[in-house]
Amino acid sequence: MKIVLAYSGGLDTSVILRWLKENYKAEIIAFCADIGQEEELTGLEDKALKTGASKCVVDDLQEEFARDFIFPMIQAGAIYEGQYFLGTSIARPLIAKRMVEIARAEKADAIAHGATGKGNDQVRFELTAAALAPEVKVIAPWREERFRKKFPGRAEMIAFAKKNKIPVEASAEKPYSTDRNLLHISFESGVLEDPWFDASSKKMRGMYKLSVSPEDAPNESEYVDLTFDNGNCVKVNGKKLLPLGVMRMLNKLGGKHGIGRVDIVENRFVGMKGRGVYETPGGAILYFAHRQMETLTMDREVMHLRDSLVPKYSELVYNGFWFSPEREALQSLVNETQRDVTGIVRLKL
């Protein structure tokens, strides 16, 4: 048996790699997608091979992520429950898509992920696999009782790693979990599960990675010009950029001015509520600028029709239905609405 595993090099996926190899008697191909998380990827291949993988594939998917996932979503004006810019939601289908492609190329029998049984990511991975490669089996160790019995907590995973000489850093657990990519970084769980806990307090300043606190932002304002062509930003301050370049520049500008922080409680697809604290500096600027361009260039009835579909489109993205026929049908309508969304928007940050 051959399995392609979504691998980060952290404790969970390192332990899962070895556990899959032993319990499924399988050859493991580790896969890591570079989608702008800016985590240390150097040495990841060597770590995966030492842990037991036969191969480690690290793919830079940042440009594809910006061009084929973030930009179409911005064109649609997508925002979940009026506040969430869908940073994690939109990344999972791309990762799963590439996993499926590798599985087919390697003639693998299954793909595997380290998502837990109480979150949205398990659904996003598995719906993508079902849409693109229904013949490929999906293995989710955290939903297997034998895995949970062996690893009821972090201490057991660290002990397993030490016993099997798995090269992971068993550092102290953070009081929250994080997920970072080109569009955003999210913080959830741990201390953040108390909705009364102040995530903007001085003692939590060190948590944020992409933006300064609004209290620490410059007192002097800054102007930025965004040029749109058919609903896509193609220039920033007159400089022609590919989607990846646009996101990087806007992330830098937004972060400097403390833009894009959101602290919300959202309704998860799996039936529970969860608090999320998000930094989306570039995405917030792009979303707002795009809307301002539409107010000047879009027909009233077309705008109202598209806006009526934003909740449904956003829900589809959030729930993992990116490759569904209904999302693709909505995208076709969105594309039609964007044909005159062309011009320059000036924002004061």
Catalytic, 307? Answer no
54 phi and psi, to 5 degrees?
A: -85, -20
Q: Residue 41, class by beta-carbon neighbours within 10 Å (0-12 exposed, 13-18 middle, 19+ buried)?
A: middle
| Of 143, 177, 194, 299, catalytic | 177
Four-residue CA torsion sign, 231, 232, 234, 235: positive
Distances (CA, A) of 108 to 69, 126, 151, 286: 26, 16, 26, 39
- The answer to whether the CB of 176 falls within 8 A of the CB of 189 is yes
User: Could you tell me the two tokens for 191?
Assistant: 């201390």
| Cα–Cα distance for residue pair 273/264, rounded to 1 Å | 10
332 annotated active-site: no
* Residue from 14, 18, 92, 180 carrying the catalytic annotation: 92
How far, in Å, CA of 87 to CA of 177, rounded? 15
- Note if 121 is an active site residue: yes
Is 12 noted as a catalytic residue in this protein? yes
Q: Is the dihedral of CA 209, 211, 216, 220 positive or negative?
A: positive
User: Tokens 């579909």 — which residue?
Assistant: 309
* Catalytic pick among 14, 89, 121, 314: 121
Backbone angles phi, psi at 191, to 5 degrees: -65, -25
Residues marked as catalytic: 12, 92, 121, 177
